[in-house]
Structure 1
């Protein structure tokens, strides 16, 4: 154990209650990474701290500032961009035990929570009031609200209700030197000063540690109707999404699953979707107008070469859950990469066509699942390590192309997963040197010692 680690542990154990400072190898290993796949394996942190109240977080940051030791805050570690990967000496600040729902105000349609509350648990708690927390990332049963805020997580319902930032009203933040600040407001509207809440949301733990959040709730819809549409080809499915929008239909969920993914789902759930179509679009309509929108979709695709099925509540839930887990068998590894681009909706057909051509030229397999309602596409590219020459080089070229094509079409390198470590090299492809330097200046102002998740994001 180095002198720095010895001093660090001594100071943390003095400052914090017993049991919060953890040193065993299993905990260090478990907290060293997220679900993101990197060529370089993470190192073990010096220590893992499990705060249970705000003052503990402040104490950790004061010790870290004094010793100039980096701090990586984390929740469940469900991210996929390497945002909490450890590189070098670091304290892991695991916020999972700060998991209280402090207050629910049904008449105000807000909830006040600690960062360790799991997304699904908040929805379970507010359902009795006829309310819901709208952002629902695929990891909603595991991921914490603090982690969702750190990455500005999206989800299936963001087609209608927006991403995490659209539901965050106020944040309590512990800064790098241990000071506690509150940004934002308790109201849905408010334009006093700069929007610092938006700044911290999506900052990936590089500007401060979220310790409390005021979140906007929405009323549960009075009705929900699910429709699945099977199209002959992926391109026709993407075009079908545009037809739905032009008909002024606003689904709460609008998802796309290609034929390759349908085949996997058929194996998992004993269904036969892949035989019926080249791609599936899944729409959830909600609210008092759900039935009317359902009829409108029928009219849009009447007479077209589209198989349209209307589902009851039980089947609808199954379809939604199938989509949520549709990458469950395809966890990223050295030979498989899932991407997260977002592009203007008018360019989706062109993007799919161009990326399919790249995949064919590079002899790379391609799957596509997407939040097509807002142009957020998730192509998964993979190679067989035993087939063809230079499989990793071919995969790398295809992945780079998936990002470059998105940018050429006016899109972004990440729609909801964040930059982390994995996408950091691509950031200069999208943003100018001046813009990146401006962000680094903001980082330097809030974290002058560069101890908050250094090397991530920007």
Structure 2
């Protein structure tokens, strides 16, 4: 889309109702809001950034833009990794970060009601005062927002046991593309009245409606957890351990896998428990009623599968040290990139395959890295088969950029060939539109396009994302 002659009229109409600090047009702000955190994804230049504080202001922005035929792109904290929040030329960026109130915590019904701009961390801290927890924990939990989590269907480390964002959204307050308001879902523990529009909106990436409020389910606070770290001489051995743990009926609260490159990067950073030379590392956490006994049983399964080094926590301090190995992935990759001279991009990918295919998939990723002469670090949620291959490359080097883009496509193709999906928790955005069409097939794709047309007949709300109209 290109800039439209209606832009001056748009700014005049919006400025007549929005306070000056809620409508931003300076070039630096427009540039800062032009895209999320995904490389390989095109973005345009917005005409304005609206930062409403109320649902009424959101409805006004959408209604005005709809009347003028101008696209609107919803945004949260822009931590997304699929280009779903990228601007199109001449659009209004609708940022919900200022709608950051926690409206109520209801311990009796284990519910929290909040606005979309509340960060995941702040929500967790607020409900913890009531002895409750909101389990979804994306890696960007300190800064990502609930609205963004809902838009992308975010997951996290503990989703192997506790599920993903979609499992906790009971109801949504929405504004439709034309400015109409509606509510979906319920406050009750059970309810099946009508089509499940709530689950339809979760993961729709701001293409169907704008979330202005959410009712979320809570759980009792988690028990203190213990953890273990196991290193393996082969990917097959690590995969066998994952299969044995899940097959024996264990439900670890985290079951994370690091490949050879990622393990070595954390070793190089100086983590005291990791040893060099391992093909794969598993990090397992248990918050069961008796976590020590649970970990003892899982340790035996790891050793039977061929683990050459296992460290088991006996105290909460030791448990935190083991989990720290997983949280050190980003600093370790940063240190690696700094050792190459800086100026590099680390693109965190998101592919899910059946758990039984994890060893084969990681092996294929290692082959792809070697074939394209790239460094690819693979980590992920082994308990549910969701991996995050991270391609490190120099965007200023045209040849390396091209090899990285080809490697990305090869990883997508390998995941689909193994019966997987192109995204487990990051979403489609613009980055994976073509891959989604390959994954869905023509009948499903046409139904999804029909849903988009039903909600947004003018194709003005976050156009060009997920499915093309």
Q: Give TM-score, length-normalised by structure 2.
A: 0.91
Residue 440 of structure 1, CA deviation: 1.0
Paired position in structure 1 for 2:180: 179
- 1:353 and 2:363 aligned: yes
**Alpha-carbon distance in 1 for matches of 2:283, 2:395:** 33
Q: Give the match for residue 313 of structure 1.
A: 316
- Superposed CA deviations along residues 56-104 of structure 1, whole A, max 9, x for unmatched, are 0000011011111111111110001111111211101111110000000
Question: Paired residue for 1:26, among 25, 28, 43?
Answer: 28
Change (3 A) 1:9 1:274: farther
Total equivalences in the alignment = 456
Q: How far apart are residue 391 of structure 1 and its match?
A: 3.6
d(CA) in 1 for partners of 2:87, 2:452: 19
- In the other structure, the counterpart of 1:288 is 289
Which aligned pairs between 1:403-422 and structure 2 lie closer than 5 A? 403-422=412-431
Q: What is the DSSP-based 3-state SS (H/G/I as helix, E as strand, rest coil) of the residue aligned with 1:136?
A: coil
Alpha-carbon distance change, 248 to 2 in structure 1, aligned in 2, over 3 angstroms:
closer
Instruction: After superposing the two structures, state which structure 1 stretch, 318-327 or 163-172, moved more.
Output: 318-327
- CA deviation digits over 1:244-302, x for unaligned, max 9? 11221110111011231123223445546242633221111013142331121133234
**Contact 1:335–1:395, Cα closer than 8 Å, also in 2:** no
* Cα distance between partner residues in 1 of 2:447 and 2:283: 40
Q: Distance in 2 between matches of 1:385 and 1:101?
A: 40
Name the counterpart of 2:463. Answer: 454
CA contact (8 A) 2:230 2:302 kept: no
In structure 2, the partner of 1:36 is: 38
Written as runs of structure 1 = structure 2, the 5 A alignment for 1:376-415 is: 376-382=386-392, 390-415=399-424
1:240 aligns with 2:249: no
- Report if the CA contact (8 A) 1:131-1:218 is conserved: yes
The whole-number CA distance in structure 2 between the counterparts of 1:25 and 1:34 is: 17
- How far apart, in 2, do the equivalents of 1:232 and 1:250 lie? 25
SS at match of 1:429: helix
1:137 corresponds to:
138
CA distance in 1, matches of 2:191, 2:395: 54
In structure 2, the CA distance between the partners of 1:179 and 1:362, relative to structure 1 (3 Å rule), is same
Deviation at residue 107 of structure 1 after TM alignment: 1.5
> Aligned partners of 2:409, 2:274: CA distance in 1, in Å?
31
Partner of 2:340: none
Confirm or deny: 8 A CA contact 1:39 1:334 kept in the other structure.
no
In structure 1, the partner of 2:229 is 228
| Contact 1:115-1:213 within 8 A present in 2 as well | yes
Mapped partners of 2:407, 2:40: distance in 1:
17
In structure 2, relative to structure 1, the CA distance for the partners of 1:328 and 1:455 (3 Å cut) is: farther
In structure 2, how many angstroms separate the alpha carbons of the residues matched to 1:386 and 1:43? Answer: 20
Name the CA distance, whole Å, in 1 between partners of 2:210 and 2:396: 45
- Find out whether 1:56 has 2:65 as its counterpart: no
- Residues 299 and 363 from structure 1, CA distance in 2 versus in 1: closer, same or farther, beyond 3 angstroms? same
Residues 1:46 and 1:164: Cα distance change in structure 2 (over 3 Å): same
Alignment of 1:364-383 (within 5 A): 364-382=374-392
**Distance in 2 of aligned mates of 1:39 and 1:261:** 25
Q: Is the contact between residue 32 and residue 44 of structure 1 (CA under 8 Å) also seen in structure 2? A: yes
Work out whether residues 151 and 202 of structure 2, in 8 Å CA contact, stay in contact via their aligned partners in 1. yes
SS of the equivalent of 2:222 reads coil
CA 1:405–1:65: 2 relative to 1, 3 Å: same
Shift in Å at residue 353 of structure 1?
2.4
Q: What CA deviation, in whole Å up to 9, does each residue of 1:370-429 have, x standing for no partner?
A: 111101011123457899x94444333322221111111111011110001111121122
Task: Give the 3-state SS of the residue equivalent to 1:213 in structure 2.
Answer: strand
390-399 vs 237-246, which moves further: 390-399
The two structures, once aligned, show a CA RMSD in angstroms of 2.3
Relative to structure 1, is the Cα distance of residues 47 and 392 closer, same or farther in structure 2, using a 3 angstrom cutoff? closer
Q: How does 1:98-117 map to 2 (within 5 A)?
A: 98-117=99-118
Deviations 1:195-231 (A, max 9, x none): 1100000000000000000001111123311111111
Superposition deviation, residue 111 in structure 1: 0.4
The Cα shift of 1:118 comes to: 0.2
How big is the shift at 1:17? 3.1
1:318 shift after superposition: 4.1
Q: Distance in 2 between matches of 1:372 and 1:23?
A: 44
Residues 1:264 and 2:273 aligned together: no
Instruction: Indicate if the aligned counterparts of 1:230 and 1:276 stay in contact, CA closer than 8 A.
Output: no
